[in-house]
Structure 1
Amino acid sequence: MIRQFLGLDRFEGYSIGNFQKDLVAGLIVGIVAIPLAMAFAINSGVKPEYGIYTAIIGGILCSLLGGSKFSISGPTGAFVPILFGITMMYGYENLIIAGFMAGVMLLLMGLLRIGTIIKFFPKPVTIGFTTGIAVIIFSGQITDFLGLSNVKKHEMFHENMQEIFLHLNTINGFSFLTAGICLTVIILAMKFLPKIPGALLGLLVSTLVATFLYPDQVATIGSKFGGIPSTLPSLQMPQIDSGKILELIPAAFTIAMLGAIESLLCAVVADGMTGSKHNSNRELIGQGIANMIIPLFGGIAATGAIARTATNIKNGGKSPLSGIIHGLVVLSVLVLLAPFASLIPMASMAPILMVVAWNMSERKEFAHILKLKSYDSIVMVATFLLTVFVDLTAAVEVGLVLAIILFIKQMNATHSVTKVLPDKQFNKVMPDHKAQGNGCPQTSIFTLEGPLFFATTQALENSVSKELLSGPKTVLLRMSKVPYLDISGEAVLASIVKQVHQKGVTLQISGIREQPKKLMVKTGLYEEIGEKRFFEHTGEAIDDSFSRLDLNKCKGCKHFAFQECTVLSNPQKPISLGMKGIEKEKELVLT
């Protein structure tokens, strides 16, 4: 138990060879993380060093305390529009407080063991907001890519696009050239040098070209933000009061939910690549603790980064140690090379994030779901549009509500209550309407298909209530195709039981499955119906129903629903034949 709590079980069978692979993977991922950390921080509206602090602390703590052996955590593109919006609305100080609160929420999610629920987030919603975030990130780089001047940043997408179009006449040719060089190097490196981090190579080449060929012609990190400190900041406790907590709860919840979804999605991807299995609740606990500590050093929100995790796995990462090494590599670069970071052109950062946005856009999945022209397409497009034109919070909320409503509609369509009759020819039951209304006036049989829950109960209640008006002696519900029953479905069954008892009718149930039976036992409905009224097979229930037939009503009946009806309706045969005589002539056994 202690080994699992500390995460030591993730190091079982660890060897020197594994350490060597972790060392190489951690070194490569650390190098990859540096330009991304600065770029994500800048586009979140904060100084580049805050992204580096996040990569260091988040990378080490999440690997040490999380539930995945391979996940690499740090600042990610998914957080960019959220953090930028919070910074614009509340300021940097409150962004730090919101990040701390989000960490507390993530910790509570893990302790309350709801990680297994979050990872089953509807895919159309995830694809919708991920693609929307990609569009926001990509479009947000146009200003630096072109070197536009005097462009004001706004929270709303359409306002930012309007600003860009209004200032297209301020294009800086040197910035455009620098960005083009960086983008070209990244694309060529991805194609011809896949083992070399393209983002870092593009950053180095474009920075050297701009520094030596046309110095002071493009905006740099130094000219925009000043120098980057070569040390970690001192520990600072944010000033939190009840008013700020209430004000920042929506922002913190958005960060926490997105962090939970991204980190668990990243862990699932890692599982798929390695054949391992992560602990979702421990992953949330690790993310929560890390996000509570990161803001104390000025960092921004961190979560699992899919691209860096994939890089870690592809380069041989074997344990959480590779993630810890990645954080130490970023720390070493900060201490040794921070002064040189001020020379990096802003135009060199833009193509890096454009490539990130392109890779995270889920464009193939988006097109695939769109082609389906289903309810999922509606949910995805609505989430996408709201992410781009409103904000991620509204997008996720509306997307989830819409997904639930459409899911209920689909479930309601798949659930059916059909009155059926025995089919003598094929030894089974068939819908009543196909038998030209030859149903037994005294025994009504219904087949229920699909889950019986709050959204699907009306058909059953209406069908049985209508049938009771015809005065049957027995109502049989065939429930072998009902996999799930909730308390609303149980309440409807209880109401039916009450109705049939009031009318002196017997209710039978055949083929009931485990979950519905357990719920009915817990509520006492099973006992109220009576154990002897539950049957494994339909044929057994029909046999039992014959004991309640009004044989006088059977005389002269022309419905002939059952094979026994030939005997029962013939007035020439003595009624005293009774059920034993009927049994001798029975050939149909319904299952």
Structure 2
Amino acid sequence: MISLTDYRAQWFGNIRGDLLSGLVVALALIPEAIAFSIIAGVDPKVGLYASFSIAVLIAFVGGRPGMISAATAATAVLMVTLVREFGLEYLLAATVLAGLIQIGMGLLKLGRFMRFVSKSVMTGFVNALAILIFMAQLPELDLATPGVTWLTWALVAAGLAIIYLFPRLTTAIPSPLVTIILLTALTLVMGWDVRTVGDLGALPDTLPVFLIPDIPLTLETLWIILPYSTAIAVVGLLESLMTQNIVDELTDTASDRNQECIGQGIANTATGFIGGMAGCAMIGQSIINVKSGGRGRLSAFTAGTVLLILVVGLGDLVGLIPMPALVAIMIMVSVGTFSWPSLRNLKTHPRSSSVVMLATVATVVWTHNLAIGVGVGVLLSGIFFAAKIAQLFRIRSTLSDDGRVRTYTVEGQLFYGSAEAFAAAFDFREAVERVIIDVSRAHIWDISSVQALDAAILKFRREGAQVSLIGMNEASETLVDRLAIHDKPGALDKLAVH
């Protein structure tokens, strides 16, 4: 549990930096929230209300100061079918349920399972997200898109120049904010016809109000929304926790994963009651926040509050912001997010690590689903790890001077990956009176290894040899006592089916 002093410092330890970075993030959230609403098939205000609500609430109850959460593409793509078949009210109910599921996962401390996500998967996740962020900007650079001209390209180039060159003059004001102000002023003064934020959709002009989703409170409704809610909850927490790891590394600080799970759940549950869609942490916006100087909870609170003020109170003015300015910022995020050293490391890192990273990237980019890509990466990591551990397994055998006793010394990890090598190491036809299987340098992990051990002992007994199993550590002995059958009555009769 965090102390009151530390919690206060997370709010007021970096006031100026958090306020400025929060302002930049708020402006960058607008087009994304609208775009994600369109993906989900709902009105733009659903995504904008969600981004406001989630950002503000997560500032209070989240576990990672400085991380930005809002409506995201990762969760939006999971809502399409539900909205199309059942409508907005069912989406709001699914959002509430997804939040409750996340709270439960946090209380069960499931955040600890993030330690099983390898560095290679993390790198692949980051690189894939950088590519997706860049790809999302391509429609705004496509000359076939109405309103996109060569002037758009010129303004994007000018925006990138400001972003990367302005910090050489001063870092007192975030360069992305300067880019938005200068390009907006320039397009208004020159009267240039370029796409603006207002072209993406109508902005809301009223504050959100509390409402209860208008759905039948029946088991049938629960079975309709439960699959969607579960998927949203899992994908949302996966992206949030991976983003949390990245922000931890960027800021060289630690944070509470389980509190973040609970915080995300509270934010989503409350958001469903004000007409917003579910969301999660946003790696792109979080990196914008950190690189713009945001470190504390005030940055997320500022981003959410300013977002609501802008779209409700200053919607007409916000609608004038040229899209090239926001495209330039997102390209900067894409370039900054991508792990460029990972390309050099392809030659020096173990081949298995490189394969995991590339497979994660390829899967995410192909499916546009971060959860599937991470799942593939984790699966490959597990397979490669099991294969590597299996290679470290070996069995040595010695024969007594009188030729009557054969001792097999097992070294390494005995599990499903090494069970076959274990079974192949014994000579069951050798005419010895006694066989000793010494596992003092080994560990027995699973039912596959226990079954292999059973089979070896029973085959030796079938050939008339006495078998002794020695050296088991406490954990291995507990597993063998519970699962093994070689000392049970009728064990030899069961050998063929064991």
Q: TM-score range by the shorter chain?
A: 0.7 to 0.9
Partner SS, residue 282 of structure 1: helix
SS in 1 for 2:208: coil
Matched, 1:220 2:193: no
Aligned-partner Cα distance in 2 for 1:316–1:440: 77
Summarize the alignment of residues 435-584 of structure 1 with structure 2, pairs less than 5 Å apart. Answer: 441-464=403-426, 466=427, 468-483=428-443, 485-501=445-461, 503-510=464-471, 512-520=472-480
Matching residue of 2:352: 375
User: Secondary structure, in 3 states, of the residue corresponding to 1:44?
Assistant: helix
Q: Residue in 1 aligned with 2:70?
A: 75
Q: State the distance in 2 between where 1:18 and 1:459 align.
A: 54
Residue of structure 2 equivalent to 1:39:
31
SS at match of 2:165: helix
Partner of residue 173, structure 1: 150
- What residue number does 1:386 align with? 363
For 1:3-18, list aligned pairs within 5 A: 4=1, 9-12=2-5
Report what 1:117 is aligned to. Answer: 113
Q: Report how far residue 12 of structure 1 moved.
A: 4.2
Gaps spanning 5+ residues in structure 1: where?
151-169, 422-437, 529-591
Q: Distance in 2 between matches of 1:370 and 1:95?
A: 46
| CA distance in 1: counterparts of 2:161 and 2:383, whole angstroms | 46
Distance 1:395 1:316 in 2: 29
- Is the aligned partner of 1:411 residue 2:411? no
SS in 1 for 2:409: strand
In structure 2, what residue type is equivalent to 1:285?
Answer: I
The alpha-carbon deviation at position 488 of structure 1 amounts to 2.4
Tell me the equivalent position of 1:27.
Answer: 19
Q: What's the CA shift for 1:507?
A: 1.1
CA separation of 1:146 and 1:28: change in aligned 2, threshold 3 A: same
- Compare CA radii of gyration and give the structure with the larger one: 1
Q: Does 1:136 align with 2:132?
A: yes
Q: 1:29 to 1:519 in 2, by over 3 A?
A: farther
Structure 1 position 34, deviation (Å): 0.6
Q: Distance in 1 between matches of 2:132 and 2:242?
A: 21
In the other structure, the counterpart of 2:494 is none
**Match for residue 160 of structure 1?**
none
CA drift of 1:81 comes to: 6.0
**Aligned AA for 2:195?**
A
Query: Could you tell me how far apart the structure 1 residues matched to 2:194 and 2:219 are?
Result: 45
Could you say what secondary structure the match of 2:345 adopts? helix
Change (3 A) 1:61 1:171: closer
Cα deviation digits, residues 108-133 of structure 1 (max 9, x gap)? 32233322113422443443344233
Match of 2:495 in 1: none
**Partner Cα separation in structure 1 for residue 474 and residue 257 of structure 2:** 28
Distance between the aligned counterparts of 2:48 and 2:449, measured in 1? Answer: 54
Does 2:260 correspond to 1:268? Answer: no
Are the equivalent residues in 2 in contact too, given 1:147–1:176 (CA < 8 A)?
no
Count of aligned pairs: 477
Deviation at 1:96, TM superposition (A): 5.0
Q: CA deviation at 1:303?
A: 2.5
Conserved in 1, the CA contact under 8 Å of 2:458 and 2:486? no
Normalised by the size of structure 2, how large is the TM-score? 0.80
From the superposition, tell whether residues 314 and 189 of structure 1 become closer, same or farther in structure 2 (CA, over 3 Å): closer
Question: Within 2, Cα distance between the matches of 1:247 and 1:472?
Answer: 65
Cα separation, partners in 2 of 1:309 and 1:128, compared to 1, 3 Å: closer
Contact 1:369 1:377 in 2 (8 A): yes
Q: SS in structure 1 opposite 2:29?
A: helix
Of 195, 198, 203, the residue aligned with 2:180 is 203
The 1:19/1:440 distance shift into structure 2, 3 A limit, reads same
> Alpha carbons of 1:522 and 1:105: their partners in 2 closer, same or farther (altered >3 Å)?
same
CA contact (8 A) 1:32 1:308 kept: no
Corresponding residue SS for 2:116: coil
Q: 2: CA distance between counterparts of 1:478 and 1:13?
A: 54
Given residue 390 of structure 2, which amino acid in structure 1 is its aligned partner? N
Q: 1:214 deviation in Å?
A: 1.8
Which amino acid in structure 2 is aligned with residue 44 of structure 1? F
Amino acid aligned to 2:70: P
**Partner SS state of residue 450, structure 1:** strand
Q: Hey, what does 2:324 align to over in structure 1?
A: 347
* Preserved CA contact (<8 Å) 1:379 1:399: yes
The SS at the match of 1:445 is: strand
Amino acid paired to 2:403 = P
1:114–1:479 Cα change, 3 Å: same
Given that 1:54 and 1:74 are in contact with CA atoms closer than 8 Å, whether structure 2 keeps it comes out as: no
CA RMSD of aligned residues (A): 3.8
Structure-1-length-normalised TM-score: 0.69
Determine the C-alpha separation between the residues in 2 that align with 1:270 and 1:142: 27
SS of residue matched to 2:445: coil
Amino acid across the alignment from 1:374: R
Whole-angstrom CA distance in 2 between matches of 1:352 and 1:95:
31
Q: Report 1 or 2 for greater relative contact order, CA contacts < 8 Å, sequence distance ≥ 6.
A: 2
Local SS of the residue matching 2:432 = coil
Residues 249-269 of structure 1, C-alpha deviation per residue, up to 9 Å, x if partnerless?
666555433322232233334
Partner of 2:54: 58
Summarize the Cα distance change of 1:119–1:508 in structure 2 as closer, same or farther, 3 Å threshold.
Answer: closer
- Partner of 1:131: helix, strand, or coil? helix
2:469 match: secondary structure: strand
| CA displacement at 1:515 relative to structure 2 | 3.1
Contact 1:34 1:52 in 2 (8 A): no
Unpaired runs of 5+ in structure 2?
Answer: 489-498
Output the CA distance in 2 between the equivalents of 1:138 and 1:180.
Answer: 15
Structure 1 counterpart SS, 2:273: helix
Distance 1:249 1:387, change over 3 A: farther
Alpha carbons 1:228, 1:341 under 8 Å: kept: no
1:353 shift after superposition: 1.9
Aligned to 1:229, the other structure's residue is in SS state: coil
